[in-house]
Structures are given as structure tokens and as C-alpha cells.
Amino acid sequence: MPVRKVELMNELAIFKNIPVKTAAIASLYPDVISVNRKVAGLEKAGRIIRLKRGLYVVDPEESGLLLSLNLIGNALYGPSYISRLTALREYGLIPERVEAVQSMTTHLTVSFENKAGRFEYQHCAKDYYSIGITQRSEEGVTYLIATPEKALCDYIVSTPRLPLRFLKDTYTFLEEDLRLDMDTFKEMDVNIFKLCAAVGKKQQTIKNLIKILER
């Protein structure tokens, strides 16, 4: 989406493209009696975008900055980190465009839709969650994202009915179904796969990834 250059500073631009709560917006208008009415007016005027109840982001036309969907993904539901197909696409490991922003969380599996897009969250156990998370920056913000290895594990463990018990099936899935960049895959850190296999689901499939890497 093209964004015009902001020629005049406005009060909302202070938030840049960072999701903020109602209270933060209210702090800009200390003389306003009804905070909710003021926020509703800003939303109706298209100056802010409602992400969910009580959480907003400044419209790009106001901030002069593109929205960071990955940062929104972190802020919308947490703790969470960007993963699965979204992360694999971010790293250039798969060719297909991903419609939803996909994340992992220790909370319940849930999804949100708003004017920014669709955001999907998949539950995982706490000991598995903590493996292979890193930080990545874009558009002047930093967000949490899975490493390539963890993103691949997350996609496998969260996708039902993947018949990947055998090594040959796993290799075909990576190369033909997922169309993963196999040259990059062969350079991945096998230790992250081993950690995931030790505590996560679908251990046999993850072990198949390890066997392919160690060949």
C-alpha cells in the first residue's frame, strides 16, 4: 500500500507504527471527558486502526510508516512469536505468498481478523515454545520470530495428517509439497531440530529431518 509522506507532524505520529492501548492514545488528549468516544472518533475518521478491543495502531496515512504485520502479530496475542509458513516465507525458504500471519503461543489456539489482516495462533507447550526464537527488524521495529529450523518444526507439528513417518516421504514433502529451498535447508542447525524432537510432537518426523541433514 503506498504511503504519502507526512508533511506536518500530528499528535498520533508519535506512536509510529507500534500497536498501542487505549490508555496511550488517551494520554494525548488529557482534556477529553470521554476517552472511548474520542478513540471511536479517531477510528471512524480513519486515523487509527482497531486491532482488537483496546488495541490500536496508527493508520499509515497518519504515521507515514507502513504497518509491520509481524509486530502486530506479536502484540495482538501473547506470548507469541511469528512462525510456520509466515516465517519460512520471511526467510525466503518457500516461494508461495502466505495470506495469514501465523504464530505460535503458549495460550489457546485462536485467530483474529481486522483491517490489518488475518492473524493465526497455534498452541504449543511451554518447554517446546522456548526453543529457537530470535529477533528480526523491519520498518524500524523489532519483533520475535522463529529461527528457520523452528519455523519448519512448528509447521510440521501444527499441521494435521502429514504422512511423514518414512524418510522418503519426508524428503518428498520438503522438496515437492512445501517447495523448501533445499540448499538452505542442508545448512540449518541440526541442534535445534534435536531440541524440538526431544520435547515436541511428531518426534519421528523431526528425527527424519535430522537424518536428512546428517547424511
pLDDT at residue number 4: 45
What are the beta bridge partners of residue 104?
81, 122
Per-10-residue mean pLDDT of the chain, 215 residues long, equals: 49 96 95 92 97 97 95 97 98 95 98 97 97 92 97 95 86 94 96 95 92 91
What is the predicted pLDDT for the residue at 3? 47
Q: Domain spans of the chain?
A: 11-63, 69-214
* CA dist., res. 43 & res. 1, Å (int): 19
With beta carbons less than 8 A apart as the criterion, state whether 73 and 101 touch.
yes
Are residues 6 and 62 in contact, defined by beta-carbon separation less than 8 angstroms?
yes
Residue 1: other Cβ atoms inside 10 A: 6
Task: Give the dihedral of Cα atoms 83, 86, 90, 92; nearest 10 deg.
Answer: 110
Residue 9: predicted pLDDT: 54
- Any bridge partners for residue 145, and if so which? 82, 134
Instruction: Count the Cβ atoms, other than its own, within 10 Å of residue 96.
Output: 10
Give residue 163's pLDDT. 77
Other CB atoms within a 10 A radius of the CB of residue 4 amount to 8
| Strand duo 101-105 + 117-123: pairing | parallel
Task: Round to whole Å and give the CA distance between 101 and 172.
Answer: 26
Q: What is the DSSP letter of 8?
A: S
Burial 106-115 (b: 16+ CB within 10 A, else e): beeeeebebe
Residue 8: per-residue pLDDT: 40
pLDDT in tens, 161-206: 887 888 999 999 999 999 999 999 999 999 999 999 999 889 999 9
CA distances from 37 to 42, 115, 188, 192 (A): 9, 20, 51, 49
